[in-house]
């Protein structure tokens, strides 16, 4: 499978952390990579140029949302998702499976696929594994995800087992669909398989065993960080990365918090996506190097310092906590925008620094230093006399 | 009054249009000038850098809002409004009078000033003419406005006359307060007087007569565009500009629509402010050279063209109507932001082009060409086959 070249450039000694790079039709992506989430074809409040300035090599876009609105036809007519949204670097799309399960009404899962009603207008749709592949191809994605079946946890062992079986069958159908498309001259995107099985290591191993019959370009760790807690989540990450091939990227879906990223990189994860940083930002909370800063709090009303004195994003270079706090208090959209800009910059930059540490063979020290500082909450107390 | 130098650089022959420039502590302002409105210390959704890129020399900030939140003390502690909001060019503040009358509860107007309850928390405040000057000085404004009394139209002749009398008395008190502040080493800002009198030319003349006893740095045309209609509004503009000194800038408050700007410039107005372009933008409607484009309409869902093919703002250079329409349909904040960016660029650029036409002695032709094109609605029809 050389049409999705992934090179491992460095492997840390003391941890399982890796530094790598892969290339898509839209450029290089350095790993570990944090992918900002552009749900409906827009990373909320931010322009593509700001995302480039933040150092993002790749974004995530949600197939479910784009399929329902504006629809694949419109995106295709506008020259594909990259042109439509003005983003010329890489895009990874999810399959739509997660949103179908979490957002739509009247979902029926059968071996055909998922039948659901749109949360927008109640229209009926069937999302089969082949459809998920065709839709992502129609959007012009660089990396597509297989349609998988998620099980709401906690679940009975039988439900987990059935979902794993279906995930394996669907993944095979999706892979075959991509081969069929390639025969027709499209389907050029990379395709990742997704390991499911909840927090049952045996089921996850069985899932991978089934999926590994196909030549997926990369591997996602699915069904985690859904309420099981960080400790158990990281346990599953360790389990999965031990079995997944070293020569392919590992993508921990829907993760996460800065500490999650640092700990998962230590366990061999290469790619992440999460709405948490930007969602928090829109609500007035950001991560800085010394912890979680609730900048909308009145305590910061006279704090002249930037969100993070060590951050060099536009927000931190130009504005004070006091101004940001004012913007949030006044309900000004600029506040949401400036905080989101910082949030993306902070996560992308964290992944970049993690990578540098791996390349320099000092990831364990980097992790320790990061965690100590992040838990210190230094500089978060309002300035004296404020 | 040479501390607010205003130079007339050109006077059109066929119309009363002028091109000028004045200098404040924060740089030069070329006129005619459109001032984007930064109500609560932020031009909604936009950063100061974007406003500079749009060519804005000067912004308007609302004293009422900033006085109530975050308060003059906080702004002062943060180094003044310019530093607080990261805007290093000129700022004009209004006196607060208009918002007190339109936003707050339980307003009592007496010769003392206006007593009101904050719309935010119901706290009681008295805004006297001296207070309005001190607050604007405390914010660090470059141009302050006198506290005036607005009368809701239609009003009886007696009410208009009393409001004019009070406006004149208050303006004198405000002017004296600035002199007093200057004696203490502050009060360095410019101060404009505001002509009131509704649509009664005699009262407006009487108002100016009273105000002209003081050496105001510039003259605002107040109490217009409050429902009297463009025709009558422009009649009052003609009346006022005929009596106002040619050597001082004329500021038509709260105006406006592109056609209003073009027509008022023709009648000798130099400065404008209006929330209409940016408010419309946030709601999915923008002005382009060929008219009013309701980009959120489904008709544009497949329109590959930019909002305005002749506009060189970031939005028009990078995004299609189809994408913007999608953003509005999806409720994405980026849509509001990109439309607002275009809106500011469009109005500032219109004023700039008007100025160039005056300098070249062809304002009448410029106006005629603009109006013809703006009414043509060319390129607004969705693309064929869309």
Q: What is the pLDDT of residues A297-307, one digit of tens each?
A: 999 999 999 99
- How large is the average pLDDT for residues A329-351? 98
Determine whether A165 is an active site residue.
no
pLDDT tens string B180-214: 999 999 999 999 999 999 999 999 999 999 999 99
In angstroms, the CA B29 to CA A323 distance is 26
Rg (CA), chain B: 21
- How large is the average pLDDT for residues B126-155? 93
Q: Is pLDDT above 80 for A183? A: yes
Q: What angle do CA A233, A340, A367 make, to 5 degrees?
A: 40
Chain centroid to Cα A347, Å, comes to 11
Token duo for residue A106: 């009247």
CB of A382 less than 8 A from some CB of B: no
DSSP H or E run through B169: helix B157-183
Chain centroid to Cα B37, Å, comes to 7
Asked if residue A28 lies in contact with residue A41, where contact means CB atoms within 8 angstroms, the answer is: no
Asked if residue B27 lies in contact with residue B35, where contact means CB atoms within 8 angstroms, the answer is: no
The share of chain A scoring above pLDDT 90, in percent, equals 89
State the residue for tokens 């020259």: A79
The share of chain A scoring above pLDDT 70, in percent, equals 98
Distances (CA, A) of B107 to B100, B174, B196: 7, 20, 19
**Given pLDDT bands bounded at 50, 70 and 90, which one contains residue B97?**
confident
pLDDT at residue B382, rounded to an integer: 80
Asked if residue A141 lies in contact with residue A91, where contact means CB atoms within 8 angstroms, the answer is: yes
Q: Is pLDDT above 50 for B87? A: yes
3-state secondary structure chain A: CCCCCEEEEEECCCCCCEEEEEEECCEEEEECEEECECCCCCCCCCCHHHHHHCCCCEEEECHHHHHHCCCHHHHHHCCCHHHHHCCCCEEEECCCHHHHHHHCEEEEEECCEEEEECCCCCCEEEECHHHHHHHHHHHCCCEEECCCCCCCCCCCHHHHHHHHHHHHHHHHHHHHHHHHHHHCCCCCCEEEEEECCCCCHHHHHHHHHHHCCCCCCEEEECCCCCCCCHHHHHHHHHHHHHHCCCCCCEEECCCCCHHHHHHHHHCCCCEEECCHHHHHHHCCCEEECCEEECCCCHHHCCCCCCCCCCCCCHHHHHCCHHHHHHHHHCCCHHHHHHHHHHHHHHHHHHHHHHHHHHHCCCHHHHHHHHHHHHHHCCCCCCCCCC
Answer with the residue of higher pLDDT: A151 or B340: B340
- How large is the average pLDDT for residues B156-162? 92
**Given pLDDT bands bounded at 50, 70 and 90, which one contains residue B42?**
very high
Q: Exposure string (b/e) for A276-293, b if CB count within 10 Å is 16 or more?
A: bbbebbbebbbbbbbeeb
pLDDT at residue A385, rounded to an integer: 54
Fill in the DSSP letter of residue B152.
Answer: P
Closest to A110 (Cα-Cα) out of A147, A155, A79, A143: A147
- How large is the average pLDDT for residues A164-192? 97
Q: Across the beta sheet with B124-127, what order do the strands follow?
A: B105-109, B114-117, B124-127
- How large is the average pLDDT for residues A10-28? 97
State the residue for tokens 């964290």: A350
A74 and B322: CB-CB below 8 Å?
A: yes
pLDDT at residue B131, rounded to an integer: 97
pLDDT at residue A3, rounded to an integer: 78
pLDDT at residue A104, rounded to an integer: 73
CB of A302 less than 8 A from some CB of B: yes
Please report residues of B whose CB lies closer than 8 A to that of A84. 320, 322-323, 326
Asked if residue B194 lies in contact with residue B163, where contact means CB atoms within 8 angstroms, the answer is: no
pLDDT at residue B384, rounded to an integer: 59
Mean pLDDT check: name the lowest of A38-47, A149-158, A319-328, B263-272: A149-158
CB of B84 less than 8 A from some CB of A: yes
- Sign of the CA dihedral running B137, B141, B144, B147: negative
Distance from CA of B329 to the nearest CA of A (A): 8
Asked if residue A365 lies in contact with residue A25, where contact means CB atoms within 8 angstroms, the answer is: no
State the residue for tokens 């506040």: A335
pLDDT at residue A274, rounded to an integer: 97
Q: Exposure string (b/e) for A308-344, b if CB count within 10 Å is 16 or more?
A: beebebbbbeebbbbbbbbbbbbebbbbbbbbbbbbb
A320, closest residue in chain B (CA to CA): B84
**Using omega within 30 degrees of 0 as the cis cutoff, is the peptide bond preceding A256 cis?**
yes
Distance from CA of B304 to the nearest CA of A (A): 6
pLDDT at residue A309, rounded to an integer: 96
The DSSP bridge partners found for residue B24 are: B27
Pairing, β B143-145 against β B190-195: parallel
Q: Where do runs of H (alpha helix) occur along B18-86?
A: 48-53, 63-68, 72-77, 81-85
- How large is the average pLDDT for residues B308-317? 97
> CB within 8 A of B158, min separation 6: which ones?
none
| Chain pair A-B, CB pairs under 8 angstroms | 120
Q: Is pLDDT above 90 for B386? A: no
Question: Which of the following is catalytic: A131, A273, A303, A308?
Answer: A273
CB of A103 less than 8 A from some CB of B: no
**Given pLDDT bands bounded at 50, 70 and 90, which one contains residue A1?**
very low
Average predicted confidence (pLDDT) for chain A: 95
State the residue for tokens 């159908």: A173
Chain centroid to Cα B140, Å, comes to 18
Distance from CA of B107 to the nearest CA of A (A): 23
B326 and A47: CB-CB below 8 Å?
A: no
A77, closest residue in chain B (CA to CA): B302
pLDDT at residue A151, rounded to an integer: 80
pLDDT tens string A61-119: 999 999 999 999 999 999 999 999 999 999 999 998 888 878 877 788 999 999 999 98
Q: Is pLDDT above 90 for B290? A: yes
Q: Full-prediction pTM beyond 0.90? A: yes
Distance from CA of B121 to the nearest CA of A (A): 13
- How large is the average pLDDT for residues A185-203? 96
CB of A65 less than 8 A from some CB of B: yes
State the residue for tokens 């500009």: B241
Please report residues of A whose CB lies closer than 8 A to that of B65. 330
Closest to B196 (Cα-Cα) out of B207, B187, B188: B207
In angstroms, the CA B9 to CA B359 distance is 7
Selecting from A42, A302, A333 the residue whose C-beta is nearest the C-beta of B74 gives A302
Token duo for residue B145: 């406005």
In angstroms, the CA A26 to CA B358 distance is 48
Closest to B226 (Cα-Cα) out of B150, B116, B165: B150
> CB within 8 A of A386, min separation 6: which ones?
A299, A300, A301, A302, A303
- How large is the average pLDDT for residues B76-80? 97
Compute, in degrees rounded to 10, the torsion defined by CA atoms A92, A96, A97, A103.
Answer: 130
Q: Which of B69, B78, B336 to mutate to probe the A interface, most A CBs <10 Å?
A: B78
Q: Is pLDDT above 80 for A281? A: yes
State the residue for tokens 């530094």: A19
- How large is the average pLDDT for residues A320-324? 98
Closest to B143 (Cα-Cα) out of B2, B238, B23, B16: B23
pLDDT tens string B12-41: 999 999 999 999 999 999 999 999 999 999
Asked if residue A145 lies in contact with residue A93, where contact means CB atoms within 8 angstroms, the answer is: yes
The share of chain B scoring above pLDDT 70, in percent, equals 98
pLDDT at residue B385, rounded to an integer: 54
In angstroms, the CA B375 to CA B131 distance is 45
Chain centroid to Cα B27, Å, comes to 18
Mean pLDDT check: name the lowest of A175-184, B116-125, B146-155, B305-314: B146-155
At residue B275, the 3 state secondary structure works out as: coil
Token duo for residue A49: 């140029």
Please report residues of B whose CB lies closer than 8 A to that of A46. 334
CB of A88 less than 8 A from some CB of B: no
- Its ipTM equals 0.94
Q: Is pLDDT above 50 for B1? A: no
Distance from CA of B98 to the nearest CA of A (A): 19
Distance from CA of A152 to the nearest CA of B (A): 28
Helices A333-359, B333-359: axis angle to 10 degrees equals 110
Distances (CA, A) of B296 to A43, A281, A333, B307, B310: 19, 26, 19, 11, 20
CB of B326 less than 8 A from some CB of A: yes
Please report residues of B whose CB lies closer than 8 A to that of A337. 45, 47, 333, 337
Please give the backbone phi and psi of residue B133, each rounded to the nearest 5 degrees, phi first.
Answer: -70, -45
**Given pLDDT bands bounded at 50, 70 and 90, which one contains residue A384?**
low
Fill in the DSSP letter of residue B37.
Answer: B
Answer with the residue of higher pLDDT: A60 or A119: A60
pLDDT at residue B155, rounded to an integer: 85
Distances (CA, A) of B192 to A85, A325, B220: 45, 32, 7
Please report residues of B whose CB lies closer than 8 A to that of A85. 323
CB of B96 less than 8 A from some CB of A: no
B78 and A329: CB-CB below 8 Å?
A: no
| Residues of B with active-site annotation | 94, 273
Q: Is pLDDT above 80 for B369? A: yes
Q: Which of B72, B79, B314, B330 to mutate to probe the A interface, most A CBs <10 Å?
A: B330
**Given pLDDT bands bounded at 50, 70 and 90, which one contains residue B151?**
confident
pLDDT at residue A169, rounded to an integer: 97
Q: Is pLDDT above 70 for A125? A: yes
DSSP H or E run through B370: helix B363-376
- How large is the average pLDDT for residues A162-175? 96
In angstroms, the CA B234 to CA A314 distance is 43
pLDDT tens string B4-16: 989 999 999 999 9
pLDDT at residue B152, rounded to an integer: 76
A338 and B86: CB-CB below 8 Å?
A: no
């Amino acid at each position: 499978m050389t049409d999705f070249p992934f090179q491992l450039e460095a492997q840390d000694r003391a941890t399982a952390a890796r530094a790598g790079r892969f290339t898509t039709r839209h450029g290089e992506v350095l790993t570990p990579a944090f992918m900002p989430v552009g749900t409906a074809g827009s990373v909320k409040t931010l322009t593509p140029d700001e995302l480039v300035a933040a150092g993002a090599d790749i974004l995530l876009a949600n197939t479910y949302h784009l399929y329902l609105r504006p629809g694949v036809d419109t995106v295709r007519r506008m020259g594909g998702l990259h042109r439509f949204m003005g983003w010329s670097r890489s895009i990874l799309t999810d399959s739509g499976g997660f949103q179908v399960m979490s957002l739509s009404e009247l979902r029926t899962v059968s071996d055909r696929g998922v039948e659901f009603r749109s949360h927008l207008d109640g229209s009926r749709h069937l999302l089969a594994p082949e459809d998920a592949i065709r839709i992502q191809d129609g959007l012009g994605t660089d990396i597509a995800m297989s349609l998988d079946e998620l099980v709401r946890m906690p679940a009975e062992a039988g439900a987990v087992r059935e979902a794993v079986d279906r995930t394996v069958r669907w993944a095979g159908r999706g892979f075959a669909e991509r081969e069929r498309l390639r025969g027709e001259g499209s389907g050029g995107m990379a395709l990742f398989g997704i390991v499911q099985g909840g927090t049952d290591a045996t089921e996850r191993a069985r899932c991978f065993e089934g999926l590994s019959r196909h030549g997926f370009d990369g591997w996602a760790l699915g069904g985690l960080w859904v309420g099981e807690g960080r400790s158990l989540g990281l346990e599953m990450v360790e389990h999965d990365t031990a079995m997944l091939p070293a020569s392919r990227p590992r993508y921990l879906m829907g993760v996460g918090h800065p500490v999650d990223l640092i700990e998962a990189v230590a366990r061999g994860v290469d790619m992440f996506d999460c709405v948490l940083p930007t969602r928090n930002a829109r609500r007035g909370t950001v991560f800085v190097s010394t912890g979680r800063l609730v900048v909308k709090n009145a305590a910061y009303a006279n704090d002249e310092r930037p969100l993070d004195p060590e951050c060099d994003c536009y927000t931190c270079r130009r504005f004070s906590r006091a101004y940001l706090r004012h913007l949030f208090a006044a309900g000004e959209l600029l506040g949401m925008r400036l905080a989101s800009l910082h949030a993306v910059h902070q996560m992308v930059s964290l992944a970049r620094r993690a990578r540098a540490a791996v390349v320099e063979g000092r990831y364990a020290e980097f992790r320790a230093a990061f965690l100590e500082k992040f838990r210190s909450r230094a500089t978060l107390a309002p300035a004296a006399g404020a």
